[in-house]
């Protein structure tokens, strides 16, 4: 046998090494030679405990223990998946009512939202000073007119400033099946929808790319997804209103509700409100449209202000910004900016607040009009809307702002004349739009009367400017005429929308009534009680009847109906009675004129108002606390109203 064959086996060597003493734990840690005795010389020298490695717990894994641990982890993961599944099912199956009930348990904060001098609420509350001056102590007057006062003072709650969603929705998830979206895009390529004529997104190829990217790309911004939800929501609304063939293939009403919830959910995320970008502005614009549709002017204002701030950050208000953009992108951004501008200036006069986008800081050009004969009238209409918004902004800035109210009466009168010329010039050019070949001629025709409503309402607010005369308060014959025409246009427009197959009275309330001032009603009311004009009284009663048809459209419509009902009933009772209006009326000029230095003599003879209110107004007003209307109507005459806002 060789040396190798006669050598020690591996097993024997392992056994021999295992029997040999090993270095103690202390020497192993210090990495020094150990004499392998217990205690070793090193531990004795350092005066530490000498511990044999064999006395330590065995750190080697036990296969059986590992197996048990793996089984326990697997069981834990299984239970966790079960719990997640149960939670997911309970969330999706929870009825909307339970969510609403949970929401209603939250505190309803009362918010004192500011409105300025040009707002209808201020005009209404100020008109109270004129209608009652000396009878504050009578219970009948305090109960009836006080209810009107309180109605005008009603504060907003938090729900007026946000959307109410029925349940939690993931805004990053597409609510519609891809097949439906494909059919929608194919449909709008076959025939351009009204959506792409009258709104801020007119490029069908851009609509198509935004929608397809929402399905193809795994990483999209919240602004992108929310914009797509807005696009699909308003397209589906149009398809339903026009009875599009897609209504027979799909349950569009269910799908439009899903888009609505996704749009609302996306708008309320911080990213859309705070992070500037074209798609964030687009998402906010759609959210503002939805707020307008829901009759939420304060939420509408919040979203428009955020969009306006984004526009300024992105430089959309400056022409040089568009020089480095592709032509298509530049056109879309430009049109989107001017859409935000229109809403901003409209709200400025409506709510009596300074606008966010100031004209002195804007040099970007108007959108380019199309050469297509069907689209060109719509583009020209959009530009005229911009110009009307500019006039509205100027009326507030130059006549109703705190600075303007302190200006000399001569300066204010000259400004009023200049603005009257501007708005009349606007009217002249607006009527010259050639719509002989316009696309969707029926919708175009129906939409014309609402511009009459806006024109005459804005003109009334302009001519009603307080303290613009050296002789004191004046309400001129032109102001009375504009107010009558505004109310007549309102009834004509409402009637046309109610008879339309594509529109309704609710649409009129949401898109027109809630977004122009109803100051003309107050002006005609004053004319009735000053000269007992039976024609004007009948006009007021007809307007109240028309408002009754749409009073259930929103909280705002209901409130407006109640206010006008009270004023019409009051006008009927006071017509022909002896008041200070009778003395202030100038029949040859058909105007009311008060000397601003005269003493505040009674507007009405004693008991005039007290005897007038044998009215059954308590049926819907007795829930409100009564207040003195004397100061309310008198301040409307002076233009120095300081009462709280109506909304």
pLDDT reported for residue 252: 92
Position 255 scores a pLDDT of 92
CATH number 4.10.240 given to 10-55: yes
> Which position has the token pair 């150990």?
34
Q: Which residues contact 630 (CB under 8 A, 6 or more apart)?
A: 128, 129, 132, 133, 134, 135, 136
Nearest residue to 550 via CA among 617, 495, 618, 500: 495
Statement: residue 74 has pLDDT above 80: no
Place of tokens 């599944």: 85
Q: Are strands 585-586 and 472-475 parallel, antiparallel or unpaired?
A: unpaired
Cβ(433)–Cβ(377) under 8 Å? yes
For residues 299 and 319, the answer to whether their CB atoms sit within 8 Å is no
Q: Which residues have CB under 8 Å from 385's CB, separation 6+?
A: 342
User: Rg (Cα) of the chain, in Å, rounded?
Assistant: 37
**Average per-residue pLDDT in the chain?**
77
pLDDT at 337: 97
Helix, strand or coil, per DSSP, at residue 417: helix
Pairing of strands 110-111, 472-475: unpaired
Please determine, for residue 160, whether its predicted confidence score (pLDDT) is greater than 90.
Answer: no
* pLDDT of the residue at 25: 82
pLDDT of 594 higher than 80: no
Residue 580 confidence (pLDDT): 52
User: What local confidence, expressed as pLDDT, does residue 132 receive?
Assistant: 57
Mean per-residue pLDDT, 358-378: 94
Do residues 467 and 596 lie in contact, with contact meaning Cβ atoms separated by under 8 Å? yes
Three-class SS state of 354: coil
Of 621 and 529, more confident = 529
Distance between first and last Cα of the chain: 112
How confident is the model at residue 285, as a pLDDT?
96
- The angle that helices 278-293 and 222-241 make with each other, rounded to 10 degrees, is 40
pLDDT of 332 above 80: yes
Say what the pLDDT of residue 91 is.
46
**SS3 per-residue string spanning 250-274:** CCHHHHHHHHHHHHHHHHCCHHHHH
Query: Could you give phi then psi for residue 604, rounded to 5 degrees?
Result: -130, 150
Domain ranges of the chain: 10-55
In the predicted structure, residue 194 carries a pLDDT above the cut 70? yes
- 153 pLDDT tier (thresholds 50, 70, 90): low
Quickly state the pLDDT bin for 452 (edges 50, 70, 90): very high
Beta bridge partners of 157: 110
Section 178-203 average pLDDT: 90
**How much is the pLDDT for 4?**
46
**What confidence score (pLDDT) does residue 30 get?**
78
* Residue 281 pLDDT exceeds 60: yes
Q: How many residues does the chain have?
A: 647
Written as one string, the DSSP assignment of 594-605 is EETTS----SB-
Express as a percent the part of the chain with pLDDT over 90.
36
Q: How many CB atoms lie within 10 A of CB 176?
A: 24
Residue 474 is given by DSSP the state E
Q: pLDDT value at position 397? A: 93
What tens digit of pLDDT does each residue of 285-311 get? 999 999 998 888 889 999 999 999 999
The pTM score is 0.72
State yes or no: pLDDT of 76 exceeds 50: yes
Q: CA-CA distance, 518 to 523, in Å (whole number)?
A: 9
- Other Cβ atoms within 10 Å of 616 Cβ, number: 9
Q: Give the pLDDT of residue 325.
A: 83
Q: Do the beta carbons of residue 408 and residue 415 sit within 8 Å?
A: no
Sheet holding 585-586, edge to edge: 472-475, 591-595, 585-586
More confident residue, 584 or 514: 514
Q: Mean pLDDT over residues 383-393, rounded?
A: 96
Find out whether 127 and 574 touch, Cβ atoms under 8 Å. Answer: no
Q: How confident is the model at residue 618 (pLDDT cuts 50, 70, 90)?
A: very low
């Amino acid at each position: 046998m060789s040396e190798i064959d006669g050598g020690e086996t591996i097993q024997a060597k392992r056994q021999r090494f295992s029997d040999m003493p090993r270095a103690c734990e202390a020497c192993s840690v210090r990495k020094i030679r150990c004499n392998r005795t217990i205690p070793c010389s090193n531990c004795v020298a350092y005066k530490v405990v000498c511990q044999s490695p064999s006395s330590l717990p065995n750190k080697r894994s036990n296969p059986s223990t590992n197996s048990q641990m793996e089984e326990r982890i697997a069981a834990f993961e299984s239970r966790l998946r079960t719990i997640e599944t149960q939670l997911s099912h309970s969330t999706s199956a929870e009825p909307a009512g339970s969510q609403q009930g949970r929401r209603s348990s939250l505190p309803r904060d009362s918010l004192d939202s500011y409105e300025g001098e040009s707002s209808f609420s201020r005009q209404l509350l100020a008109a109270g000073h004129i209608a009652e001056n000396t009878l504050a102590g009578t219970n009948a007057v305090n109960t009836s007119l006080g209810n009107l006062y309180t109605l005008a003072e009603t504060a907003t709650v938090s729900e007026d400033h946000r959307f109410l969603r029925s349940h939690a929705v993931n805004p990053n998830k597409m609510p519609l099946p891809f097949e439906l979206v494909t059919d929608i895009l194919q449909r709008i390529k076959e025939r351009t929808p009204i959506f792409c004529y009258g709104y801020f997104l007119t490029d069908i190829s851009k609509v198509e790319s935004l929608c397809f990217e929402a399905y193809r790309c795994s990483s999209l911004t919240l602004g992108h997804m929310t914009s797509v939800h807005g696009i699909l929501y308003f397209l589906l609304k149009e398809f339903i209103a026009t009875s599009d063939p897609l209504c027979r293939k799909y349950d569009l009403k269910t799908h439009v509700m899903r888009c609505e919830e996704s749009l609302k959910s996306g708008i309320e995320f911080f990213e859309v409100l705070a992070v500037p970008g074209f798609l964030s502005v687009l998402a906010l614009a759609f959210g503002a449209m939805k707020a307008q549709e829901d009759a939420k002017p304060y939420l509408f204002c919040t979203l428009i202000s955020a969009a306006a701030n984004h526009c300024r950050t992105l430089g959309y208000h400056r022409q040089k910004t568009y020089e480095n953009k592709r032509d298509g992108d530049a056109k879309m951004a430009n049109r989107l900016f001017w859409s935000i501008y229109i809403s901003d200036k409209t709200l400025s006069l409506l709510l009596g607040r300074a606008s966010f986008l100031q004209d002195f800081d804007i040099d970007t050009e108007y959108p380019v009009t199309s050469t297509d004969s069907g689209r060109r009238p719509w583009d020209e209409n959009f530009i005229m809307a911009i110009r009307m918004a500019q006039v509205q902004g100027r009326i507030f800035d130059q006549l109703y702002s705190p600075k303007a109210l302190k200006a000399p009466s001569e300066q204010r009168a000259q400004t009023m004349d200049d603005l009257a010329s501007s708005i009349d010039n606007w009217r002249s050019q607006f009527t010259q739009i050639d719509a002989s070949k316009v696309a969707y001629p029926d919708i175009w025709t129906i939409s014309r009367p609402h511009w009459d409503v806006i024109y005459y309402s804005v003109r009334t607010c302009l001519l009603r400017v307080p303290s613009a005369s050296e002789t004191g308060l004046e309400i001129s014959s032109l102001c009375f005429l504009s107010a009558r025409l505004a109310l007549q246009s309102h009834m004509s427009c409402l009637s046309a929308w109610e008879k339309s197959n594509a529109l309704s009275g609710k649409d009129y309330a949401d898109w027109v009534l809630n977004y122009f001032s109803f100051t003309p009603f107050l002006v005609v009311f004053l004319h009735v009680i000053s000269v007992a004009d039976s024609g004007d009284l009948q006009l007021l009663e007809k307007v109240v009847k028309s408002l009754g048809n749409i009073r259930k459209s929103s909280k705002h419509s209901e409130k407006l109906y109640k206010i006008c009902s009270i004023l019409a009933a009051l006008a009927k009772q006071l017509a022909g009675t002896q008041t200070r209006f009778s003395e202030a009326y100038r029949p040859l000029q058909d105007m009311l004129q008060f000397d601003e230095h005269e003493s505040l003599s009674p507007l009405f003879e004693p008991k005039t108002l007290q005897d007038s209110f044998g009215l059954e107004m308590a049926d819907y007003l007795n829930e409100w606390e009564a207040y003195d209307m004397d100061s309310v109507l008198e301040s409307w005459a002076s233009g120095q109203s300081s009462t709280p806002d109506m909304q």
